[in-house]
Amino acid sequence: MHPEVWAHWGTLIVLLLILGNVLWVLGVRRLYRPRTVPPQLRRVRCQDGWEIAVHVRRAPVRRFEEPVLLCHGLSANRFTFDFAPPYSVAHYLAEAGFDCFSVEWRGTGHSRRPALGRRYTDFTVDDHIHQDGPALLEFALAETGAKRAFWLGHSLGALVGYGVAQGPHGPKLAGILALGAPVFLKSGPLLRALVGIGVRAAWPARFRQEWMSATLAPFLGYVTLPLSELLVNPQHIPPTLQRQVYANMMSSMSRKVLLQFRDWIEHDAFRSYDRTVDWRAGLSHLTQPMLVMGGSSDRLATPENVRKQYELLTCSDRTLHVFGRDRGDKMDYGHGDLIFGTGAPIEVYPLMGTWLQAHATPMPSPVDQTAEPPTLPA
């Protein structure tokens, strides 16, 4: 057969494979979409002109003044905290009386509109700390009329909270709940190799791993993906939930963010992209109430990592809690199952809710935000 004919057929086959994968992923996401009333999508403009998405879930009866900012980690999105009950922190806290604001960091999920002259992958963790975090905080305060807000972050989301707390917006935080935050990032050769592969795969702009996750999602529970133990304890998450999470919660990663993580891992640091600001050293100056949480089998934010993080804090109101069988929990907790493990709704969520209620300001009287407005007299 003529070489040009082979080239034509080869191109056609590649296009059909791409089309088939697109249809497969769309079908997977539809099949495994969370069956719940979605939160309200709002868009918030940062000072540098970038627009981020904030998903608002109001309390049916608001009992506390301070809202809760729910902040996801690397390679995730707002589904980290606002999923389908019972595996939804946003639903749990809203029912307890807190207005919840789940962010999607720039370049993630619905936050795809960059500032003029910038690509939507042109950002670092510094932008989350100096731009996204303050914009999220100011929006939540304006929406609720509160003077301060609580920050609940998972993994990178907690690290961003630590950075925001060290800046000019720190006094507006009523407390920080850090869940699985890897403040100390010195690791073995495996994780360094994986991050290096991610940096290369993200050239020239980002690593589209959410596409791969959705493609493989229907097979989870039947097979265990290699290296999955780095992210979760697979035995702690039901197979059906694994498929739902991988189909919906994963997002692409900016190459510049991965380069920053590589720097942190290679030098055991938690610092700015230009290496001039040491956020880990700044933890000792924080005065906000702190709840530091981790998992007994977490391989990213290890128990030792979390305890060392806690020891850096000098604030008078600080609490450490490592979930696992050692303290009588249902199972040992990995990184992601701090939120999606079968024990999380009955072990992790209540502890966070109790801590928040103890530190929150009760409303003068409960405000029912779902009730119909009163009918004015004619």
Q: What is the separation of C-alpha 332 from the centre of its chain, rounded to a whole number of angstroms?
A: 21
CB distance 269 to 278 below 8 Å: yes
Per-residue pLDDT at 217 = 84
Whether residue 371 is predicted with pLDDT greater than 60 in this model: the reply is no
- Say what the alpha-carbon torsion angle 140, 322, 88, 288 is, to the nearest 10 degrees: -10
**CATH architecture entry for 32-368:** 3-Layer(aba) Sandwich (3.40)
**In the structure, what pLDDT confidence band is assigned to residue 375 with cuts at 50, 70 and 90?**
very low
Structure confidence at residue 10 as a pLDDT band (50, 70, 90): low
Buried-exposed string 77-101: b where 16+ CB fall within 10 A, e elsewhere: bbbbbbbeeebbbbbbbbebbbbbb
Alpha-carbon distances, residue 319 vs 286, 296, 356 (angstroms): 14, 16, 12
With the CA atoms of 179, 84, 229 and 151 taken in that order, what torsion angle do they form, in degrees rounded to the nearest 10?
-10
Res 370 pLDDT > 70: no
Q: How confident is the model at residue 376 (pLDDT cuts 50, 70, 90)?
A: very low
pLDDT at 361: 98
Per DSSP, the three-state class of 219 is helix
Most confident of 3-7, 217-221, 256-260, 326-330: 256-260
240-244, 273-277, 281-285, 354-358: lowest mean pLDDT where? 240-244
The whole-number pLDDT of residue 20 equals 76
Tens digit of each residue's pLDDT (9 = 90 or more) over 68-110: 999 999 999 999 999 999 999 999 999 999 999 999 999 998 8
How confident is residue 119, by pLDDT bands cut at 50, 70 and 90? confident
Give the strand pairing for 100-104 and 51-57: antiparallel
Written as six digits, the tokens of 281 are 């050293």
Tens digits of residue pLDDT in 242-273: 999 989 998 888 999 999 999 999 999 999 99
Q: Note the pLDDT tens digit of each residue in 208-230.
A: 888 888 888 888 877 777 667 77
Residue 378 pLDDT grade (very low, low, confident, very high; cuts 50, 70, 90): very low
What does the block give as tokens for 256? 């510049």
CB 143 within 8 A of CB 137: no
pTM across the whole model: 0.91
Q: Measuring CA to CA, how many Å separate 29 from each of 136, 217, 299, 339?
A: 27, 9, 28, 20
- Type of residue numbered 367: V
Residue 310 has pLDDT above 60, yes or no: yes
HSE-CB of 95 using CA atoms within 13 angstroms: 10
Q: H or E stretch including 63?
A: strand 61-64
Q: State the pLDDT confidence band at 13, using cuts at 50, 70 and 90.
A: confident
Nearest to 43 by CA among 35, 55, 34: 55
Type of residue numbered 73: G
Q: pLDDT value at position 369?
A: 59
In whole angstroms, give the CA distance from residue 140 to residue 146. 8
Look at residue 6 and tell me whether its pLDDT is greater than 70: no
Average pLDDT over residues 52-61: 97
Within 13 Å, how many C-alpha atoms sit on residue 64's CB side? 24
